[in-house]
């Protein structure tokens, strides 16, 4: 398990506890008192540290290397039923954007999402979860296919942004994202969006125009990453923590702004501390919202979605 | 004895009395061509020698596109709020106030309806001078309402993009304007009302990832910078040198993202020619 900088007190206590337990086993000294004392300290430390996480700490948790990624969620939720589908039918198969069909209970869903890698090799293979235009076009192809057969769509978002590459620009990164947003506003099947990690800007919204948008507790969603925001507005990379605060990018902030519908609670310490529990929460939330959305006619569904997004914005006059 | 004798003393004007050349009398294009300001205006703010399209704002575009500069402005009183209490090196309300004072504009887009070559046209035009033409709630709302006006009155819509992208000081609210404007364009599309997107220098970020690339036709002025990620970010991310003309209008035309490029002088004719053709109406002279 990797620890983040602010989790170091927890790491220390967990190591102490382990040592204490070893001593208890290997010698005849009674350490149960000391152990329970450390255990108590550990619980206190965890409660204190995780209770009031700063915006930047949540950003760190959203990027935790042990955090479950999109395919982890899908495989856990759908089990053997998941069938991955590939390609945009015009250029290539983008490994940063995955998709496919799977079942939750008796119901089929079309799953789409950005995929990150778990080590150097797979991170490169997945392009760090930064999709190219063909990724967005693959996503749209799968959404249109789902629409054709009346299959609801679930999008799982985890991206530091759409890839800002030379070829991405040549192939129309802006157009690909714009097209997806446009088509998603009028897709005739339910769309459930879950932010499972990072939700950076157009790269996230390009698969994020959901009837309901849910955020796992320790994720972020905004117009720009705190680092880039710091670089542009403060002309330095040093202000990422202030930028994270200023952008109001946490799940709680986004809920308060009414830009998302629900926060999915994570286990204490983050999604990676109890993956099974996280998967279950995500699966339950998807099913619960689908059970409501499935009762709407296609027309009502689209009207409701359009109205939702048309009402976003704060201004005077 | 000298051949010439100075009758009066040399320069007698005191420094205080000296006159500056009035500002804005001359314009220097990036290639170094000097143009008389009045001549520049008559030439649609295009440098006559090198064809450089000077960055202009809604004021000038309305003048170019609406007959006799007659138009009715829509939702002129919408102004930005500071919902996030955003502070970076400055407070957002202070930035807004400074921008309003500098530009005499309320925000980064103006919308209007008027006649262009005798027929109604709704135009939403962005102003780069206002915080880099950035899109926050007001820009999204005004474009959405311009589209609503088009929809209600069955009038074609032209959006002129000139923007660095979404406005950071409204964070996720700005991002959602991509969805909001797209909703309205989808409604226009369902109703069969033409939407033209004109990309001008620069059109990047969130505008490119929404309405700027969603026209029934996407057109551009020559030499405009158009892209999703800005050239500096692309260079820094990839570590590659960018090819000549990368992300220019001409580059986008070549890669299939624009229908055509039109010099500003022909803009009014080209827009209306397309509208007459797509709506199967007699061509206006």
Beta bridge partners of A215: A195, A263
pLDDT category at A1 given cuts 50, 70, 90 is confident
B172 vs A169, A174, A221: nearest CB: A221
Sort out which chain A residues have CB atoms less than 8 A from B77's CB and list them. 317
Pair (B98, B195) in one structural domain? yes
Contact A313 B166 (CB under 8 A): no
Pair (B164, B139) in one structural domain? yes
Contact A317 B247 (CB under 8 A): no
- What is the C-alpha to C-alpha distance for residues B242 and A167, in angstroms, rounded to an integer? 11
- Interfacial B residues in 149-208 facing A (CB < 8 Å): 166-168, 170-180, 182-187, 190, 205-206, 208
Task: State the average pLDDT over residues B94-121.
Answer: 97
* B91 in any annotated domain: yes
Percent of chain A past pLDDT 70, that is, above it, reads: 100
Conformational region of residue B171, where left means phi above 0, alpha means psi within -120 to 50, and beta covers everything else: left
Q: Give yes or no for residue B10 having a pLDDT over 90.
A: no
Q: Which residues of A238-272 are buried (b: 16+ CB within 10 A; e: fewer)?
A: ebbebbbbbbbbbbebbeebebbbebbebbebbbb
Task: State the average pLDDT over residues B25-31.
Answer: 85
Sort out which chain B residues have CB atoms less than 8 A from A171's CB and list them. 255
Residue B81: give its domain's CATH number: 3.90.226.10
Q: Give yes or no for residue B18 having a pLDDT over 70.
A: no
| Higher per-residue confidence, B6 vs A57 | A57
Long-range contacts of A182-185 (CB under 8 A, 24+ apart): A182/B182, A182/B185, A182/B186, A182/B210, A182/B214, A183/A140, A183/A143, A183/A144, A184/A143, A184/A208, A184/A209, A184/A210, A185/A209, A185/A302, A185/A305, A185/A306, A185/A309, A185/B179, A185/B182, A185/B183, A185/B186
Token readout for A312 is: 């976003």
Pair (B93, B40) in one structural domain? no
DSSP symbol at B169: G
Token readout for B96 is: 């807004």
Sort out which chain A residues have CB atoms less than 8 A from B180's CB and list them. 309-310, 312-313
* B3 in any annotated domain: no
Sort out which chain A residues have CB atoms less than 8 A from B166's CB and list them. 201, 223-224
Burial label for B44, CB within 10 Å (0-12, 13-18, 19+), is: buried
How many Å lie between the alpha carbon of B172 and the closest alpha carbon of chain A?
5
Contact A185 B178 (CB under 8 A): no
For chain B, say whether A247 makes contact (Cβ under 8 Å): yes
For chain A, say whether B217 makes contact (Cβ under 8 Å): no
Q: Give yes or no for residue B126 having a pLDDT over 80.
A: yes
pLDDT category at B24 given cuts 50, 70, 90 is low
The overall average pLDDT reported for chain A is 96
Sort out which chain B residues have CB atoms less than 8 A from A238's CB and list them. none
Name the closest residue on chain A to residue B164, using Cα atoms. Answer: A232
Task: State the average pLDDT over residues A218-247.
Answer: 95
How many Å lie between the alpha carbon of B191 and the closest alpha carbon of chain A?
13
Task: State the average pLDDT over residues B11-25.
Answer: 67
- What is the C-alpha to C-alpha distance for residues B250 and A16, in angstroms, rounded to an integer? 65
* B5 in any annotated domain: no
For chain A, say whether B272 makes contact (Cβ under 8 Å): no
* B15 in any annotated domain: no
* B224 in any annotated domain: yes
The complex's ipTM works out to 0.95
Residues in CB range of A244: below 8 A, 6 or more apart: A54, A55, A56, A59, A220, A226
Domain count, chain B: 2
Sort out which chain B residues have CB atoms less than 8 A from A246's CB and list them. 84, 86-88, 171
Kind plus residue range of the DSSP H or E element containing A140: helix A133-148
Task: State the average pLDDT over residues B83-105.
Answer: 96
Pair (B226, B147) in one structural domain? yes
- What is the C-alpha to C-alpha distance for residues A62 and A202, in angstroms, rounded to an integer? 18
Pair (B214, B273) in one structural domain? yes
Pair (B50, B149) in one structural domain? no
The answer to whether B251 touches B228, Cβ cutoff 8 Å, is no
Length of chain B: 285
* B100 in any annotated domain: yes
pLDDT digits (tens, 9 = 90+) for B192-206: 999 999 999 999 999
The pLDDT score that the predictor gives to residue B20 is 61
Contact A233 B186 (CB under 8 A): no
pLDDT digits (tens, 9 = 90+) for A184-229: 999 999 999 999 999 999 999 999 999 999 999 999 999 999 999 9
Pair (B30, B121) in one structural domain? no
Name the closest residue on chain A to residue B203, using Cα atoms. Answer: A174
Strands B26-28 and B34-36: antiparallel
Pair (B45, B179) in one structural domain? no
- What is the C-alpha to C-alpha distance for residues A168 and A170, in angstroms, rounded to an integer? 5
Sort out which chain A residues have CB atoms less than 8 A from B75's CB and list them. 317
* B123 in any annotated domain: yes
For chain B, say whether A209 makes contact (Cβ under 8 Å): yes
Burial label for B60, CB within 10 Å (0-12, 13-18, 19+), is: middle
Q: Give yes or no for residue A142 having a pLDDT over 80.
A: yes
Long-range contacts of B86-92 (CB under 8 A, 24+ apart): B86/A246, B86/B168, B86/B169, B86/B170, B86/B171, B87/A246, B88/A229, B88/A233, B88/A234, B88/A239, B88/A242, B88/A243, B88/A246, B88/B169, B89/A233, B89/A234, B92/B169
Q: Give yes or no for residue B1 having a pLDDT over 90.
A: no
Sort out which chain B residues have CB atoms less than 8 A from A182's CB and list them. 182, 185-186, 210, 214
* E strand intervals along B92-194: 109-116, 119-126, 157-163
Pair (B29, B72) in one structural domain? no
The pLDDT score that the predictor gives to residue A24 is 86
The pLDDT score that the predictor gives to residue B23 is 59
Segment among A13-27, A92-106, A159-173, B257-271 with least mean pLDDT:
A13-27
Pair (B121, B149) in one structural domain? yes
pLDDT digits (tens, 9 = 90+) for B39-87: 999 999 999 989 999 999 999 999 999 999 999 999 999 999 999 999 9
Q: Could you give the C-alpha distances from B156 to B68, B95, B119, B152, B213, in angstroms and in order?
A: 19, 34, 10, 11, 17
Token readout for B285 is: 């002279």
Segment among A8-22, A92-106, A107-121, A128-142 with least mean pLDDT:
A8-22
- Interfacial B residues in 33-72 facing A (CB < 8 Å): none
The pLDDT score that the predictor gives to residue B16 is 67
Q: Could you give the C-alpha distances from A184 to A226, A268, A302, B226, in angstroms and in order?
A: 27, 34, 9, 24
Pair (B26, B135) in one structural domain? no
pLDDT category at B21 given cuts 50, 70, 90 is low
- Interfacial B residues in 71-90 facing A (CB < 8 Å): 75, 77-81, 83-84, 86-89
Sort out which chain B residues have CB atoms less than 8 A from A249's CB and list them. 171-172
Q: Give yes or no for residue B97 having a pLDDT over 80.
A: yes
The pLDDT score that the predictor gives to residue B26 is 85
Q: Which domain holds residue B42?
A: 22-54
- What is the C-alpha to C-alpha distance for residues B80 and B213, in angstroms, rounded to an integer? 25
How many Å lie between the alpha carbon of B49 and the closest alpha carbon of chain A?
30
The pLDDT score that the predictor gives to residue B28 is 86
Pair (B125, B182) in one structural domain? yes
DSSP symbol at B284: P
Q: Give yes or no for residue A154 having a pLDDT over 90.
A: yes
A313 vs B84, B141, B256: nearest CB: B141
Q: Residue B210: which of A287, A154, A208, A280 has the closest Cα?
A: A208
For chain B, say whether A304 makes contact (Cβ under 8 Å): no
B178 vs A170, A205, A243: nearest CB: A205
The pLDDT score that the predictor gives to residue B265 is 96
Sort out which chain A residues have CB atoms less than 8 A from B161's CB and list them. none
* B168 in any annotated domain: yes
């Amino acid at each position: 398990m990797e620890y983040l900088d602010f989790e170091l007190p927890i790491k220390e206590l967990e190591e102490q506890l382990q040592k204490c337990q070893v001593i208890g086993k290997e010698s005849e000294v009674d350490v149960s008192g000391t152990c329970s004392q450390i255990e108590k300290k550990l619980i206190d430390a965890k409660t204190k540290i995780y209770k009031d996480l700063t915006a930047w700490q949540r950003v760190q948790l959203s990027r935790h290397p042990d955090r479950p990624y999109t395919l982890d969620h899908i495989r856990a939720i759908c089990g053997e039923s998941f069938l991955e589908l590939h390609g945009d039918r015009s250029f290539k198969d983008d490994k940063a954007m995955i998709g496919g069909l799977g079942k939750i209970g008796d119901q089929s869903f079309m799953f789409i999402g950005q995929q990150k890698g778990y080590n150097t090799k797979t991170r490169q293979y997945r392009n760090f979860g930064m999709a190219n235009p063909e990724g967005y076009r693959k996503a749209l192809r799968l959404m249109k296919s789902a629409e054709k057969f009346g299959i609801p769509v679930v999008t799982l978002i985890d991206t530091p942004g759409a890839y800002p590459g030379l070829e991405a620009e040549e192939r129309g990164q802006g157009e690909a994202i714009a097209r997806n947003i446009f088509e998603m506003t009028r897709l005739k099947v339910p769309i459930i969006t879950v932010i499972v990690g990072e939700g950076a800007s157009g790269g996230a919204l390009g698969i994020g125009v959901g009837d309901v948008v849910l955020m796992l507790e320790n994720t972020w969603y905004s117009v720009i990453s705190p680092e880039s925001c710091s670089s542009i507005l403060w002309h330095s990379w040093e202000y990422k923590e202030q930028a994270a605060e200023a952008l109001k990018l946490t799940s709680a902030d986004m809920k308060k702004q009414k830009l998302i519908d629900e926060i999915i609670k994570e286990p204490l310490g983050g999604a990676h501390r109890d993956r099974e529990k996280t998967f279950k929460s995500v699966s339950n939330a998807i099913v619960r919202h689908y059970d409501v959305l499935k009762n709407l006619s296609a027309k009502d569904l689209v009207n409701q979605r359009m109205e939702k997004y048309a009402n976003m914005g704060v201004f005077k006059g | 004895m000298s051949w010439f004798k100075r009758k009066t003393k040399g320069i007698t004007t005191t420094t205080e009395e000296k006159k500056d050349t009035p500002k804005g009398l001359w314009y220097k294009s990036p290639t170094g061509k000097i143009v008389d300001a009045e001549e520049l205006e008559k030439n649609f703010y295009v440098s006559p020698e090198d064809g450089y399209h000077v960055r202009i704002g809604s004021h000038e575009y309305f003048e170019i596109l609406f007959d006799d500069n007659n138009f009715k402005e829509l939702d002129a009183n919408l102004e930005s709020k500071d919902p996030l209490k955003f502070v970076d090196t400055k407070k957002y309300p202070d930035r807004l106030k400074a921008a309003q004072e500098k530009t005499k504009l309320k925000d980064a887009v103006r919308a209007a309806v008027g006649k262009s070559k005798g027929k109604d046209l709704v135009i939403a035009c962005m102003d780069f001078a206002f915080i880099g033409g950035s899109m926050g709630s007001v820009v999204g709302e005004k474009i959405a309402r311009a589209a609503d006006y088009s929809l209600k009155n069955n009038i074609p819509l032209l959006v002129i993009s000139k923007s660095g992208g979404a406005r950071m000081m409204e964070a996720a609210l700005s991002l959602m304007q991509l969805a909001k404007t797209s909703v309205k364009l989808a409604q226009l599309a369902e109703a069969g009302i033409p939407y033209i997107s004109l990309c001008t220098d620069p059109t990047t970020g969130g505008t490119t990832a929404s309405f700027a690339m969603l026209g029934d036709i996407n057109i551009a002025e020559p030499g405009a910078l158009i892209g999703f990620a800005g050239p500096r970010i692309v260079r820094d991310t990839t570590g590659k040198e960018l090819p000549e003309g990368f992300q220019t209008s001409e580059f986008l035309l070549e890669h299939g993202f624009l229908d055509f490029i039109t010099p500003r002088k022909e803009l009014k004719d080209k827009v209306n020619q397309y509208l007459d053709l797509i709506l199967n109406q007699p061509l206006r002279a």
